[in-house]
Amino acid sequence: MTPPAVLALVEQRPLRDDVDRVAAAAALRVVHADRPSSRAVWMSAALVVLDTAAAGRCAHDGLPRRDRVFLVSASEPDGEDWKVAVSVGAQRVIRLPDHEADLIDAFTEASRGGSDVRRGAVVATIGGCGGAGASLFAAALAQAAPQSLLIDTDPWGGGLDLAMGTESTPGLRWQDLTLRDGRLGFDALHAALPRCRGVTVLSGGRHGADIDAGPLSAVIDAGRRAGVAVICDVPRRSSPAVEVALESADLVVTVVPADVRAAAAAGALTGWVRTVNPNVGLVVRGPAPGGLRAADIATTVGLPVVATMRPQPGLADALERGGLCMRARSPLARAAAAVLGLLS
């Protein structure tokens, strides 16, 4: 994978030149932008450098707090600079070029890596049509990863507890958590939530209570910073929480049965999903009653195929007897491994 880059949100040319010069000395790549294209870009950068205007935009967009954010200024920082630095969670305000040595130290530390560089992948699953099996595939992805956090973002979906077989396992669900925006320790979260087959599960239960975007962002960030795979099961409707899950994802997986009506429904969904996150791929699930191929589905939907899945005999019965327990070479396991392999 490409090493994390410095994200520079700096408009003034002299300041940009200063940032580029320091990054070159630290052997770090710089990506310049007006604002982060997604939460995933914001969180995965090795270091973020921004000016006052960009900091204001990022704070307004509700981006999650993270380490290694620095506000740079060409003049002595005033009250407005400090106010916006606090709002975006900047670690320091640095005047350039006078205090360039401070930025050099920050870049040097980032180039050496550290605890905040080890980040887990985030995958969001969504059904191309109703009953496509996206929740089941989310559970399969979580079980296929060495360590994972499985997050239910659908308050009306009946709860991922049923897919994992953890409905009777002690631990907290969404309705039991009292969270705000900001940093959350994964160790405490891991200890409080139900666990099954190496998967930490945050389920919505069956209470139909809406999930807030801020706490969801904090939970996703906690898993990502801990280096575990974070799998979000996303419903087929827009909400602030759903958009957080989609924006945070390194890959959005759309699960589509291999039939004409499912492909048409997935095509209608794709336009919305890609406006939130362009990194979207298809998992095509058999059987194909009309002989429709995965390539045909991809053409209809307008997305690349990242995995295909043959029918898995006895799956429905297994789910009724305690949730998904994947066999190593089952169709579900193979498809899940193919998707995770793209992010390794």
Alpha carbon distance 311, 324 (integer Å)? 15
- Whether residue 66 is predicted with pLDDT greater than 70 in this model: the reply is yes
Residues 145 and 35 in one domain: no
Region 326-333 average pLDDT:
87
The CATH code of the domain that includes 76 is 3.40.50.2300
Query: Domain range spanning residue 180?
Result: 122-342
Residues 94 and 154 in one domain: no
Is 1 within the bounds of a domain? no
Alpha carbon distance 55, 33 (integer Å)? 12
- Whether residue 137 is predicted with pLDDT greater than 90 in this model: the reply is yes
Domain count, the chain: 2
Confidence class for position 78, pLDDT limits 50, 70, 90: confident
- Whether residue 119 is predicted with pLDDT greater than 90 in this model: the reply is no
- Whether residue 117 is predicted with pLDDT greater than 60 in this model: the reply is no
Residues 261 and 194 in one domain: yes
Q: Are the CB atoms for 201 and 323 separated by under 8 Å? A: no
- Whether residue 161 is predicted with pLDDT greater than 90 in this model: the reply is no
Is 290 within the bounds of a domain? yes
Residues 144 and 58 in one domain: no
Token readout for 18 is: 């200063």
Q: Which of 88, 111, 134 is the last residue of a domain?
A: 111
- Whether residue 20 is predicted with pLDDT greater than 70 in this model: the reply is yes
pLDDT of residue 266: 95
pLDDT of residue 208: 65
Region 247-269 average pLDDT:
93
Alpha carbon distance 210, 223 (integer Å)? 21
Looking at the DSSP assignment, which residues form a beta bridge with residue 8?
32, 49
Region 65-73 average pLDDT:
87
- Whether residue 318 is predicted with pLDDT greater than 80 in this model: the reply is no
Residues 91 and 177 in one domain: no
Instruction: Tokens 């089952």: give the residue.
Output: 330
Residues 189 and 279 in one domain: yes
Phi-psi category of residue 110: left, alpha or beta, with phi > 0 → left and psi -120 to 50 → alpha: alpha
Alpha carbon distance 234, 125 (integer Å)? 6
Sheet strands side by side (includes 122-127): 195-196, 199-202, 148-152, 229-234, 122-127, 251-257, 280-285, 305-309
pLDDT of residue 116: 45
- Whether residue 114 is predicted with pLDDT greater than 60 in this model: the reply is no
pLDDT of residue 180: 58
Q: Which of 111, 132, 167 is the last residue of a domain?
A: 111
pLDDT of residue 193: 93
Instruction: Tokens 């040595």: give the residue.
Output: 101
Region 17-23 average pLDDT:
90
- Whether residue 224 is predicted with pLDDT greater than 70 in this model: the reply is yes
Alpha carbon distance 145, 231 (integer Å)? 10
Confidence class for position 1, pLDDT limits 50, 70, 90: very low
Confidence class for position 253, pLDDT limits 50, 70, 90: very high
The CATH code of the domain that includes 323 is 3.40.50.300
The pLDDT tens digits of the residues spanning 83-96 come to 888 788 888 889 89
Alpha carbon distance 39, 276 (integer Å)? 10
Is 117 within the bounds of a domain? no
Residues 88 and 150 in one domain: no
Q: Which of 111, 139, 163 is the last residue of a domain?
A: 111
Alpha carbon distance 260, 266 (integer Å)? 10
Confidence class for position 182, pLDDT limits 50, 70, 90: low
pLDDT of residue 115: 42
- Whether residue 181 is predicted with pLDDT greater than 70 in this model: the reply is no
Crossing angle between the packed helical segments 134-144 and 331-342, to the nearest 10 degrees: 70
Region 35-43 average pLDDT:
85
